[in-house]
Amino acid sequence: MLFITLEGIDGSGKTTIAKLLREKLRSEGYNVVLTREPGGDEIAEQIREIILSKKNEKMDPWTEALLYIAARCQHVSQDILPALKEGAIVICDRFMDSTSAYQGYARGLGIRTLDEIQSMVLGTTKPDLTLFFDIEPKVALNRMQERSEDEMNRLDLEKSTFHEKVYEGYQVLISEHSERIKVIDADKTINEVLEQVYYYVYNAIDKIKAQKNG
C-alpha cells in the first residue's frame, strides 16, 4: 500500500523512531511491516554479515556497493514487494538512498552511476516517501561514542570525515528529490521527532486513500 524509507547518517536515531512509528500505526489497525537494510530475508542477512564484518576491512568500494545492491534485490523480491501487494505499509530502515550517499557520494563511485544500476536491478520499486533524519555529523558522532565497540560495524568505524561526506551526499539527494525526501529535524526530543514523522506519514496515507477513492 505504502512504501516508506528512513534515511540518515549513523547515529541519527531513525531506528528508535521506526519502532515507535510501527507501534502507532499498528495500534490504529494498519498492517505494518518494519524491516531494515542491509538485511531482510535469509540470503540478504548472509550478505549483511559479509558487508559489515570488521574482518573485511580490505573490501573494495565496488564490492561493497554491489553487495548492498545484491542484498536489496533479494529483500525487495522476497519481502518488500509481497508485503506491498498484500496492502501493508512497509517501513524500511535504509534503502537505495543509503547506497547513493555512502557508496555513490562518500566512496566516490558516483550517485548517477549507482542510480542506473539500481534502476536496472530494482525496476520500478521506489519509496513513496523517504524521511531524512537530519542531525549534524558532530552530534551524531557524539551519540555513536556512547555505543560499545561490539555494537559498532565496519562502516560505523570509518573516520569522521567519511560521515561528513555521507551527510553532504544526502544533501545532494534531498535537493534532487525534494518531492519524495522530507527532512526531519532529528536533534530534538523523541516526541518532537515523532510529531514531524507523523505529519508526513499521515499525509502520505491520506494521499493513497484519496487516490483509491478517486
CB nearer ligand TYD, residue 4 or residue 205? 4
Minimum CB distance to ligand TYD, residue 93 (Å):
6
| Residue 165 interacts with ligand TYD (CB under 6 A): yes or no | no
Q: Is 9 flagged in the annotation as binding?
A: yes
CB nearer ligand TYD, residue 78 or residue 153? 153
Q: Is 93 flagged in the annotation as binding?
A: no
- Cα-trace Rg, the chain: 17
Minimum CB distance to ligand TYD, residue 94 (Å):
4
Q: Parallel, antiparallel, or unpaired: how do β-strands 129-134 and 181-185 relate?
A: parallel
Q: Are 144 and 8 in contact (CB under 8 A)?
A: no
How many Å apart are CA 145 and CA 149, to the nearest integer?
A: 9
Q: Is 110 flagged in the annotation as binding?
A: no
Identify residues 31-90 at the interface with ligand TYD (CB under 6 A): 36-38, 52, 68
| Residue 99 interacts with ligand TYD (CB under 6 A): yes or no | yes
Identify residues 110-149 at the interface with ligand TYD (CB under 6 A): none
Minimum CB distance to ligand TYD, residue 115 (Å):
12
| Residue 10 interacts with ligand TYD (CB under 6 A): yes or no | yes
**Residue of the chain from 153, 172, 187, 188 that contacts ligand TYD (CB under 6 A):** 153
Task: Map residues 194-213 to x or -, x wherever contact with ligand TYD holds by CB under 6 A.
Answer: --------------------
How many Å apart are CA 175 and CA 156, to the nearest integer?
A: 25
| Residue 7 interacts with ligand TYD (CB under 6 A): yes or no | no
**Residue ranges in contact with ligand TYD by CB under 6 A:** 10, 15, 36-38, 52, 68, 93-94, 98-99, 102-103, 153, 155-156
